[in-house]
Amino acid sequence: MRWVAATIAYDGTNFFGYQSQCGVRTVQDELEKSLEIIFKEKIPTYGCGRTDTGVHAIGQVVSFYVPNDNMTEKNVKDALNAMLPEDIYVREIKQVEANFNPRAQATKRIYFYLIYVDKEPDIFLRNRVWWVPFALDIKKMREAARYFEGEHDFTTFRAGNDERNPIRTVYRVRILNYRKNFICIRIEGKSFLRRMIRNMVSALVKVGTGTWEPERIKIILEARQRSLAPGSAPAQGLYFYSALF
Amino acid sequence: MRWVAATIAYDGTNFFGYQSQCGVRTVQDELEKSLEIIFKEKIPTYGCGRTDTGVHAIGQVVSFYVPNDNMTEKNVKDALNAMLPEDIYVREIKQVEANFNPRAQATKRIYFYLIYVDKEPDIFLRNRVWWVPFALDIKKMREAARYFEGEHDFTTFRAGNDERNPIRTVYRVRILNYRKNFICIRIEGKSFLRRMIRNMVSALVKVGTGTWEPERIKIILEARQRSLAPGSAPAQGLYFYSALF
């Protein structure tokens, strides 16, 4: 018996998030179902990030033990990809130390948020981006983004049902503009509160449209009051990109 | 009362093709359902190309009459987009002469076929491209593509159930390579037989992988025998790009 970590991509559109939940389709349940078929026993899995309904992953990390020592990492990858539904794909499997827990051990998580800026929507991107039909001022958004960096109390930007310690450290927020219509907000941190990234993104878009001045981010962050943040940016633009350990 | 032509994009994934069919979801039925709600009468529509199940459109053209003279083209566009499901989008509506029939009057149709070349699949593209996990020789594909151009009997490349005159004129086949992993085959012609483009594409891929020499295209085309063509390329890579009149 040995432990492995799988790097997994999924299209979150048809999942009720990553984490197991009774009666709805989740990524974790699909993974565990496939593992049970392959190894003929229940194998518990440990994911790195609990992405919400509709949120995607390019590099979710999930650890579990492999009871069958005859199978190489490549064999486990191929077996899983043969069993898994078409909206989950195992990109890599590598051996890790016993009881490796990606959630507890991650030192950095990187998320992407994709915005599509155009007067008209692109139906082929409807589950992949947040469509914003007006120009965004990238320079102002970059100015605003700096206020998020560092250690702060993110009470203003968390979800109402997240009761954990609201102090989080955001290492870096980068705003990239590519192929004319796409804005990618890349956010790095050790860990995030529920809805925190989507709430940060919607605030940045308020700045981008000119509704808010960049300094407003600093003010509402310091106020530690949830009611001051705008509604969350839609789930379909968010991607769990990778985790470092 | 006046006639208009709508330019329509749709994601073909969840449609049983463009054309109305009893008991299944089609693009035409969704359009006519929305028109009936807006105008409170049944409005027949005339499409340009009968795309198959899973095939997409960026610029399908559909004509119909507008019984309500108080509505501008913009009003009709907005009303339709408000009513239509999220996988159909009306990009433009403009006035045309009475009884304009896009199917009969098109002088040119342009299709795109998208291939994604990489060792690993990209789940986010699974309904948008044909994933081919080995390198393709673009130069040889271009050489082969030339044999399709001009007027030919396309019996070898048509679907078994297409009983129409098999003579068709292909104006141009372009093979474009962009962003490293993408190959786009752009095919222009006056009209096409059923499955003809997907059968042409799968033959070009046979050439690209080195299984066939480019000249084989000329030989099987001249043989006019369906059994000589490979199976059709998958529907999800095909896009009805535009039509000229």
Share above pLDDT 90 across residues of chain B, in percent, rounded to a whole number: 95
Report the residue of chain B nearest A13, measured CA to CA: B124
Average pLDDT over every residue of B28-52: 96
B13-38 pLDDT, tens digit each: 999 999 999 899 999 999 999 999 99
Average pLDDT over every residue of B43-59: 96
On average, the pLDDT of chain A sits at 96
Q: Give dist(CA A103, CA A106) in Å, integer.
A: 6
DSSP chain B: -EEEEEEEEE-GGGSS-SS--TTS--HHHHHHHHHHHHHSS----EES--PPTT-EEEEEEEEEEE--TTS-HHHHHHHHHHHS-TTEEEEEEEEE-TT--HHHH-SEEEEEEEEEE-SS--GGGTTTSEEE-S---HHHHHHHHGGGSEEEE-GGGS-TT--S--EEEEEEEEEEEETTTEEEEEEEES---TTHHHHHHHHHHHHHTTSS-THHHHHHHHHT-GGGSPPPPPGGGEEEEEEE-
A24-76 pLDDT, tens digit each: 999 999 999 999 999 999 999 999 999 999 999 999 999 999 998 899 999 99
Residue A180: pLDDT over 90: no
Residue A171: pLDDT over 90: yes
A5-20 pLDDT, tens digit each: 999 999 999 999 999 9
Residue A128: pLDDT over 90: yes
pLDDT of res. A69: 85
Confidence category of residue A107, pLDDT binned at 50, 70, 90 = very high
Query: Which positions in chain B touch A11 (Cβ < 8 Å)?
Result: 123-124, 126
Residue A161: pLDDT over 80: no
pLDDT of res. A98: 95
Q: Please say if A87 is a catalytic residue.
A: no
DSSP assignment letter at A16: S
Which of A124, A179, A182, A238 has the most B C-beta neighbours within 10 Å, making it the best mutation to test the interface with B?
A124
Task: Give the torsion sign (CA, B183, B184, B187, B193).
Answer: positive
Report the residue of chain B nearest A12, measured CA to CA: B124
pLDDT of res. A88: 98
Hey, are the CB atoms on B124 and A91 less than 8 Å from each other? no
Same fold, A2-104 and A106-244: yes
Span B106-244 CATH architecture:
2-Layer Sandwich (3.30)
Instruction: Print the SS3 string covering A86-148.
Output: CCEEEEEEEEECCCCCHHHHCCEEEEEEEEEECCCCCHHHCCCCEEECCCCCHHHHHHHHHHH
Confidence category of residue B162, pLDDT binned at 50, 70, 90 = confident
For chain A, the domains span: 2-104, 106-244
pLDDT of res. A159: 87
Average pLDDT over every residue of B193-212: 97
On average, the pLDDT of chain B sits at 96
Confidence category of residue B63, pLDDT binned at 50, 70, 90 = very high
**Predicted model pTM:** 0.93
pLDDT of res. B160: 78
Fold annotation for A2-104: Alpha-Beta Plaits (3.30.70)
